[in-house]
Structure 1
Amino acid sequence: MTVRELDAAGIHDPALRAAYARCRTLNARHGKTYFLATRLLPVDRRPAVHALYGFARWADDIVDDLDSTATAGERARALLALEAQLAEGLRRDRATEPVIRALSDTVRRYGIDHRHFNDFLASMRSDLTVGGYASYEELGRYMHGSAAVIGLQMLPVLGTAGPREEAAPHAAALGVAFQLTNFLRDVGEDLDRGRLYLPTELLAAYGVDRERFEWSRRTGARDGRITDVLRAAASHNRAVYRDALPGIAMLAPVSRPCIRTAFVLYSGILDAIEADGYAVLHRRAVVPRRRRAVVALDGLVRAVAVRGVRRRRGAAGAGAYVSGPVRRRTADAAVPVREEAV
C-alpha cells in the first residue's frame, strides 16, 4: 500500500499500516478487476476497500482453494477460527492477525454493521456442505450473505449523496450481479469443487441435469441444451445489473467512477462469455486487455474531472454528506471520516 494512501486515510500506527498493506497485496494479486476499479477512488478510501476485500478473499480461499489438500473438516475448523478472530477483533480491538486487524479498524472507522460479516460467514459455512440449489429463491438466500452484504459493507466507505437506505437495495443488487457473473464464468471450476450455482429448476426447464454438466466438463463435449441454460442464466444476470444501475447515481460523485468502472468491466464478462459461445465449462472467458484499458481510462478521466470540481468548490461544497463525521476514539484516528458518495 502506498504511503500516500495510508497518510490520507489517517493511518499512522506502524503495525496497522502493515496490516492494511497486507490487504492491498491480496487485492492486487487476486482481485484484478476490483483492484483496478479501486484505484479510481480517492486515496483516503482505498485502504478500507482493500481491508474488506482482503477479509472476503481469506474466507473464500478457506472454502474454495482447489490447490489446498485440506479436508472438509479442516476447512470448517479454519473457518471457525477465522470467525472467532473476527469476533475478538470487533469486540475488543485486540486482533493480532493483520487482515483481521485492518478489517476491524475499517469497521470502526466507517460504522459498518457487524451483522453483514456474520451473514457472510454463514454463507461461507454453507459452501462446505451445500453443493447445489433448487431455485433462484433458494440461491438468493445464499447470495444475501455471500454477495449482497459485500455491497452493503462498501456503502459506508463509498458514501451516498442521499439517504443511505435508498441506495442500499441497489448496492446489494450489484453485489449479487457480480457474483452471478462469477458463477457463470467459473461454472467449470465450481463443478470441480462439487458445486453448481445454477438452480435445478433452470436446468430442468431446458431438459438437462447436473450430471449432464459434469459429463460436459469431464469430456469436453458440447450440448446445445447446456448452452441454452447458460444463455438464460446470463439473461437473468443482466436483469440484476439493470436493477443495480440506478444506485451508481446515488453515490457520492468522487466514488461513482470506481463503481461505474467495476460495473462495466464485470458486466463485460457476460459479453465475453457470449462471444466465446458459452464455453465456460471448458475455459474461462476474459475481457480483452484493450477493452479493460479503454474502460479504465474512461474511469480515470471521470475521476479526475470530479476531483477537479471538488477542489474548485472546496471541501465544504464537495457533495452531500448523509451524516456528520464518524470519529475514532483511538489516537490513531483523530481524523474525521466523511460519508462521501461514489
Structure 2
Amino acid sequence: MRALYTRAELVEGARQAIVAGSKSFRAASRLFDRETRERAWLLYWWCRHCDDACDGQTMGFGSGPKSPVAGLREKTLLAAAGQRVGEGPFDALGMLLRERPIPVSMLEDHLAGFALDERGWRPQTEEDLDRYCYHVAGVVGCMMAIVMGISPDDRETLERAADLGIAFQLSNIARDLREDSEAGRCYVPASWLADLGNHCTVHSAIATRLVDRVAAYEASARSGVAQLPFRSRVAVLAALRIYGAIGREVGRLGDQAWDRRVTIGKARKLGFLLPSLAEAARTRRA
C-alpha cells in the first residue's frame, strides 16, 4: 500500500488526470475559484478512474483487463468511511468527502451506471436512456453542485444539476454513435431503433433525436444556475455551451458527423466565455 498521500499530492494527481482525460472539463474548471477547482479535480479523478477501470481503458483510450464494479464499490465505500485505500483516485475521493458533504447514495448511484454496462444492459425506452444518463453523468452533476456549495438537501437545485449532466451525456452519446456501435455498445432506445429497422447503426435521425433531448435538458438545467456562486455560474454556463456545441455540431453534420471525432477548438471555447459571463451577471440580477 502506498504511503499516505498529502492533499497537495492528491490535487496534483487529479490535475494530471483531468489534463489527460478531458480538455472541455479542464477548460471550464479554470473558471472556478481555487478551492472549488481543486475539489472538482478530486471528484473527476475518481469518476475517470471508475469509468476507465470498467471499460479496461486509460483516459478513455486503449484496451485491457476490466475491473469488476464490485471491487470499485468496495474501495469507494472504504474511502467514504474515512479509511485510506492507498490508491490515488479513491484517496482523492476520501479527501473530498471530508471537505464536502456528498451523500454516499450519490456515489452508489454513479457506480450503478457502470454496473448496467457490466451486465450488457441496453435501453428499451426513452425513460431507460434518461435513467442511464442520470447514473453515468446526471448524478455527477449533483455531486459537482455540492462541490460548488449547494446543500445536499436542496433537491430542486440538485435536480437541475442532474439535468445538466444528462444533457452532457446525451451529447456524448450522439458524438460516439459509430464508436459505440463498432465496440458492440448501444445506448439508443430499442423503441427508436424499431422505427429505423432495428439496427444500432450510425444514423443522422438518431442524432437529431438525441440533440433535441439535449436542448430540453439544457433549458431545464439553466433554471438552477442562479443558486450557484458567481464564478461557478460562469463555469457551468461555459461548460453547458461547450458540450451543447458538440451535440449541435453532430446534428449539423448529419451522416458526416462520424467521419472524425467532433471536438470544440480552444478558440471556440474561449468564445463562449463572454456570453457566459454576461448570462451569469443577468442571472444574478434576476
Query: For the superposition of Structure 1 and Structure 2, which TM-score range results when normalised by the shorter chain?
Result: 0.7 to 0.9
Partner of 1:236: 213
Partner of 2:99: 109
C-alpha offsets along residues 291-342 of structure 1, whole Å, 9 cap, x if unaligned? 1221145557889x89xxxxxxxxxxxx9xxxxxxxxxxxxxxxxxxxxxxx
What RMSD over aligned residues (CA atoms) do the two structures have, in Å? 2.6
Task: Note the 1:35-114 alignment, pairs <5 A.
Answer: 35-64=26-55, 65=57, 67-70=62-65, 74-76=66-68, 79-114=69-104
Partner of 2:155: 165
In the alignment, the residues of structure 2 paired with residue 154 and residue 288 of structure 1 have an alpha-carbon distance, to the nearest angstrom, of 24
In the alignment, the residues of structure 1 paired with residue 270 and residue 145 of structure 2 have an alpha-carbon distance, to the nearest angstrom, of 26
C-alpha offsets along residues 51-82 of structure 1, whole Å, 9 cap, x if unaligned? 11111111111223252232xxx432xx3322
1:109 offset after TM fit, Å?
0.9
C-alpha offsets along residues 97-132 of structure 1, whole Å, 9 cap, x if unaligned? 111111111112111101111111111122122252
Aligned amino acid, residue 263 of structure 2: V
Partner of 1:3: none
In the alignment, the residues of structure 2 paired with residue 131 and residue 299 of structure 1 have an alpha-carbon distance, to the nearest angstrom, of 37
In the alignment, the residues of structure 2 paired with residue 108 and residue 193 of structure 1 have an alpha-carbon distance, to the nearest angstrom, of 38
In the alignment, the residues of structure 2 paired with residue 138 and residue 302 of structure 1 have an alpha-carbon distance, to the nearest angstrom, of 33
Identity between Structure 1 and Structure 2 (%): 26
Which structure 2 residue ranges, 5 or more long, are not aligned? none
Residue among 236, 241, 251 paired with 2:228: 251
Partner of 1:193: 183
Aligned amino acid, residue 50 of structure 2: A
In the alignment, the residues of structure 1 paired with residue 96 and residue 150 of structure 2 have an alpha-carbon distance, to the nearest angstrom, of 17
Partner of 2:243: 266
1:50 offset after TM fit, Å?
0.3
In the alignment, the residues of structure 1 paired with residue 54 and residue 84 of structure 2 have an alpha-carbon distance, to the nearest angstrom, of 25
Q: Which runs of 4+ in 1 moved over 4 A?
A: 297-303
**Which deviates more from structure 2 when the two are superposed, residues 176-185 or residues 251-260?**
251-260
C-alpha offsets along residues 178-227 of structure 1, whole Å, 9 cap, x if unaligned? 0111111111221233211111111223x33225x1xx6xxxxxxxxx22
1:273 offset after TM fit, Å?
1.2
Aligned amino acid, residue 232 of structure 2: S
Which structure 1 residue ranges, 5 or more long, are not aligned? 1-12, 217-225, 307-318, 320-342
Task: Note the 1:143-182 alignment, pairs <5 A.
Answer: 143-160=133-150, 164-182=154-172
- Contact 2:110/2:135 (8 A) holds in 1: yes
Residue among 231, 245, 252 paired with 1:275: 252
Name the CA shift for 1:297/1:52 in 2 (closer, same or farther; >3 Å).
Answer: same
In the alignment, the residues of structure 2 paired with residue 239 and residue 81 of structure 1 have an alpha-carbon distance, to the nearest angstrom, of 36
Greater C-alpha Rg: 1
- Contact 1:155/1:171 (8 A) holds in 2: yes
- Contact 2:207/2:251 (8 A) holds in 1: no
Partner of 1:9: none
In the alignment, the residues of structure 2 paired with residue 278 and residue 256 of structure 1 have an alpha-carbon distance, to the nearest angstrom, of 35
Task: Note the 1:291-330 alignment, pairs <5 A.
Answer: 291-296=268-273, 299=276
| Alignment partner of 1:209 is 2:206 | no
Aligned amino acid, residue 246 of structure 2: I
Partner of 2:114: 124
Give the TM-score taking structure 2 as reference length: 0.87
Task: Note the 1:134-145 alignment, pairs <5 A.
Answer: 134-145=124-135
Alignment: residue pair count? 276
Q: Which one has more relative contact order, counting CA pairs under 8 Å at least 6 apart?
A: 1
- Contact 2:234/2:277 (8 A) holds in 1: yes
1:149 offset after TM fit, Å?
0.9
- Contact 1:187/1:280 (8 A) holds in 2: no
Aligned amino acid, residue 127 of structure 1: D
